[in-house]
Structure 1
Amino acid sequence: MSDFRIKTYAVGQIGTNCYILFLESRKEAVLVDPGAQGGYLVETCKEHGVTPKAIFLTHGHFDHILGIDEVKRWYPDIKIYAGEHEKNTLMDPSVNLSGGFGGSGYTVLADVWLKDGEQVTVAGIDFKVIHTPGHTTGSVCFLIPEEEVLISGDTLFQESLGRTDFPMGNQSQIIQSIREKLFVLPQNTLVYPGHGDMTTIGHELVYNPVALYRG
């Protein structure tokens, strides 16, 4: 039986799903999209007996990044991983939508820029990077093949898909990303989205509007 664990915590005003991924045998963790309440996430890691080793970002919108500074107060050397095409979103408050929170907004510079199809191992967990433009230019999903788990960010939701009316959004791109890169995964793949409930690829092939849309 696998000792892989994934814990979901909805943080911030709009309930962004932050995921804590770890192997019980290693006691190290990866945080995905710490959008708020970084201190709470750190304390939660301690409760699970794990130490965060990396922050993975599916994309750069404010509700997925605003908790990073709090995490880094506890772990200043923690590395941030993001898609290589997401630099503009992360570094421009007018694009990552943080400018509306007063001051000059919020920016993040990743330590590691990930390429489409790249495979990376952190905390003993093997990830495959899938570039899924549409919600943002550099949106990525993280596939954990051994566990048949997909972290889909704001690209694919339960019976829905990410918004494309924000800066750098593109509806035709997100539809193409979902159809060509996500719907080809095994149907029993568990999908953990940036908001809302978990789903599966098989379920979305039947009920998602992208699967039903014939355009």
Structure 2
Amino acid sequence: MDFSILPVTSFQQNCTLFWCQRTRRAAIIDPGGEPERILALVARLELVPESILLTHGHLDHVGASTDLVERLGVPIIGPHRNDDFLLKGLPEQCEMFGFPPIRPFEPTRWLDQGDVVTIGEQQLEVIHCPGHTPGHVVFFHAGERLAQVGDVLFQGSIGRTDFPRGNHRHLIDSIQQKLFPLGDDVRFIPGHGPMSTFGQERRSNPFVGTMAY
């Protein structure tokens, strides 16, 4: 499996393409906006999109989803059903942050802890990691030791929990009990900013690392 990261919108949110190298079939993860740039990258890499995967329901992670569905005819998969209120409230999110209006939508498939998502011949494990939002999920590829963690964890920081239905304790538990046990060698792509590893964050992250306690 391979991947490419494309920061989109004024929030510089990491829209990520994951693809199966043999089949060139791909998933578009968290298309927050700028669908033309996303499609241009898909074309340049000669990929065949087969799904849109969402880690959570915030505007900057889902904003281009319906536009891409109309153009590509692919299903939207994820997040967990507990983020339904965010997808239903997309018009209010757009108004709050000054984005063009986006109509509410429901994914083709909600995800739960332990589900598996297929991309070509590759598989991603679904890990439910509430805290930043109640329905946040993480996508993990065991063979590549790679995770797309959305806004759960960042290099040197963690996701905000002051948004509606955020929960700081749940976020810390998600990181320490579900992500760190996957292994120090696991690389992760956050929703914003540079990549890191779980080991680096476990050792040095001031919010959840060894130095925090």
TM-score, normalising length from structure 1?
0.91
Q: 2:116 aligns with which of 112, 116, 119?
A: 119
Q: 1:93 aligns with which of 90, 93, 101?
A: 90
8 Å contact 2:63–2:102 — kept in the other structure?
no
Is 1:195 equivalent to 2:212 in the alignment? no
Q: Percent identity?
A: 31
8 Å contact 1:130–1:141 — kept in the other structure?
yes
Residue identity matched to 1:48: L
Q: What SS class does the counterpart of residue 42 from structure 2 fall into?
A: helix
Distance 1:64 1:8 in 2: 13
8 Å contact 1:30–1:123 — kept in the other structure?
no
TM-score, normalising length from structure 2?
0.92
8 Å contact 1:39–1:70 — kept in the other structure?
no
Offset, 1:27 = 1.6
Name 2:20's counterpart in structure 1.
23
Q: 2:152 aligns with which of 146, 149, 155?
A: 155
Residue identity matched to 1:80: I
Name 2:76's counterpart in structure 1.
80
Offset, 1:44 = 1.0
Residue identity matched to 1:81: I
Residue identity matched to 2:182: L
Q: What SS class does the counterpart of residue 163 from structure 2 fall into?
A: coil
Q: 2:10 aligns with which of 13, 16, 33?
A: 13
Q: Residues 213 and 126 from structure 1, CA distance in 2 versus in 1: closer, same or farther, beyond 3 angstroms?
A: same
8 Å contact 1:61–1:98 — kept in the other structure?
no
Relative to structure 2, which stretch is displaced further, 112-121 or 135-144? 112-121
Name 2:165's counterpart in structure 1.
168
Distance 1:133 1:163 in 2: 12
Distance 1:53 1:30 in 2: 6
Distance 2:197 2:99 in 1: 38
Q: Residues 104 and 73 from structure 1, CA distance in 2 versus in 1: closer, same or farther, beyond 3 angstroms?
A: closer
Q: Residues 47 and 87 from structure 1, CA distance in 2 versus in 1: closer, same or farther, beyond 3 angstroms?
A: same
Q: What SS class does the counterpart of residue 110 from structure 2 fall into?
A: strand
Cα deviation, 1:67-125, whole Å, max 9, x if unaligned, reads: 113312321x2110112322122112377x23323786542210011111112223222
Aligned residues: 209
Q: What SS class does the counterpart of residue 166 from structure 2 fall into?
A: coil
Name 2:208's counterpart in structure 1.
210
Q: 1:134 aligns with which of 89, 114, 131?
A: 131
Residue identity matched to 1:36: G
Distance 1:39 1:140 in 2: 26
Residue identity matched to 2:208: V
Residue identity matched to 2:212: Y
8 Å contact 1:62–1:106 — kept in the other structure?
no
Offset, 1:23 = 1.9
- Structure 1, unaligned stretches of length 5 or more? none
Q: What SS class does the counterpart of residue 14 from structure 1 fall into?
A: coil
8 Å contact 1:39–1:71 — kept in the other structure?
no
- Structure 2, unaligned stretches of length 5 or more? none
Residue identity matched to 1:213: A
Q: Residues 103 and 51 from structure 1, CA distance in 2 versus in 1: closer, same or farther, beyond 3 angstroms?
A: closer
